[in-house]
């Protein structure tokens, strides 16, 4: 037979690529495939060489080919499951983007409001009013921080669930951030006003003309 002496050789591990990963073929499986060939007559072997359909049938019925097909099917199923899993997050991603845009628009609106109020406050000379507003903003910012910390502790302690925490925590943090921005801007305004006040020249009143000796008082 054509392959009667193949059992005298050692066959190391072979590998072939299945999809995106390499599959190692154990030596005993290679030996098993060669054993199938050894059991064939010269006529059958010649038929494999000369007839493509016969060769294809032999390959498709081999253990190696079935193993490759099984691995390929497993990998395709795994890839499909992974794709479906990733797609399941798409609605949440879209919702998250919409929420982020909404928060961004609110921040921009608040910043515009702050700029407008700053312009109005710059024209005011009431330092006490600015100081009072700044103190109120600081207190409001501290209150928002305290509420968010209490909410975090409630979540850690298990008093509230994740959904309740998410729905309440984000607005609280946004509110605290905006109040902190207002407070910082107000502090800058107060410092700027005080600097302008300290550098302004002392106002002088009208000069009084004193009569010189020998001169009468002008009428």
Per-residue pLDDT at 206: 42
Q: List, in sequence order, every residue forming a beta bridge with 23; answer none if it has no partner.
A: 16
Last residue of a domain, one of 42, 72, 87: 87
Per-residue pLDDT at 219: 41
pLDDT at 211 over 50: no
Min mean pLDDT across 81-95, 144-158, 187-201 is at 187-201
Q: List, in sequence order, every residue forming a beta bridge with 14; answer none if it has no partner.
A: 25
pTM of the model: 0.30
Work out the end-to-end distance of the chain between its first and last CA atoms, rounded to an integer number of angstroms.
Answer: 147
Instruction: Give the total residue count for the chain.
Output: 219
Number of domains in the chain: 2
CA angle 147, 152, 158 (to 5 degrees): 125
Say how far apart CA 30 and CA 105 lie, in whole Å: 66
Per-residue pLDDT at 121: 67
Question: In this structure, are 65 and 161 located in the same domain?
Answer: no
Question: In this structure, are 42 and 138 located in the same domain?
Answer: no
**Within 10 A of 209 (CB to CB), how many other CB atoms are there?**
8
Average pLDDT, the chain: 72
Residue 170 covered by a domain? yes
Residue 203 covered by a domain? no
Per-residue pLDDT at 29: 63
Say how far apart CA 173 and CA 155 lie, in whole Å: 15
Q: Write out the DSSP string of 199-211.
A: HSPPP--PPP-PP
Domain that holds residue 175: 90-196
- Higher pLDDT residue, 175 or 204? 175
Per-residue pLDDT at 4: 41
pLDDT at 77 over 70: yes
- Higher pLDDT residue, 46 or 211? 46
Residue 204 covered by a domain? no
Give the rounded percent of residues in the chain with a pLDDT score beyond 90: 0
pLDDT at 3 over 60: no
Question: In this structure, are 96 and 132 located in the same domain?
Answer: yes
Question: In this structure, are 20 and 67 located in the same domain?
Answer: yes
Q: How confident is the model at residue 216 (pLDDT cuts 50, 70, 90)?
A: very low
Per-residue pLDDT at 10: 41
Question: In this structure, are 80 and 127 located in the same domain?
Answer: no
pLDDT tens digits, 29-66: 666 667 777 777 878 778 778 878 877 887 777 777 77
Give the CA dihedral 209, 213, 214, 219, nearest 10 degrees: 20
Question: In this structure, are 123 and 159 located in the same domain?
Answer: yes
Per-residue pLDDT at 180: 83
* Cα four-point dihedral sign 174, 179, 183, 185: positive
Per-residue pLDDT at 196: 73
* Cα four-point dihedral sign 47, 48, 50, 54: positive
pLDDT tens digits, 98-145: 888 988 898 888 888 888 887 776 665 556 677 777 788 788 878 878
- E-strand ranges in the chain read 14-18, 21-25
Q: Are 155 and 170 in contact (CB under 8 A)?
A: no
Residue 71 covered by a domain? yes
pLDDT at 201 over 80: no
pLDDT at 193 over 50: yes
């Amino acid at each position: 037979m054509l392959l009667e002496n193949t059992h005298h050789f050692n066959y190391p591990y072979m590998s072939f690529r299945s999809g995106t990963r390499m599959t190692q073929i154990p030596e005993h499986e290679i030996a098993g495939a060669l054993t199938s060939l050894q059991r064939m007559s010269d006529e059958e072997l010649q038929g494999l060489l000369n007839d493509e359909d016969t060769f294809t049938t032999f390959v498709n019925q081999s253990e190696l080919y079935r193993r490759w097909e099984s691995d390929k099917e497993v990998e395709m199923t795994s890839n499909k499951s992974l794709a479906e899993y990733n797609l399941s997050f798409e609605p949440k991603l879209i919702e998250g983007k919409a929420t982020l845009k909404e928060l961004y628009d609110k921040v921009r609106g608040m910043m515009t409001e702050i700029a407008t109020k700053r312009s109005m406050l710059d024209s005011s000379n009431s330092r006490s009013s600015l100081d009072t507003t700044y103190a109120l903003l600081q207190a409001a910012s501290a209150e928002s921080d305290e509420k968010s910390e209490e909410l975090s502790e409630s979540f850690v302690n298990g008093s509230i669930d994740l959904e309740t925490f998410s729905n309440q925590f984000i607005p609280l943090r946004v509110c605290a951030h905006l109040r902190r921005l207002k407070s910082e801007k107000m502090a800058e305004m107060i410092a700027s006003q005080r600097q302008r006040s300290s550098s302004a020249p002392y106002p002088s009143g009208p000069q009084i003309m004193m009569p010189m000796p020998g001169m009468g008082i002008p009428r």
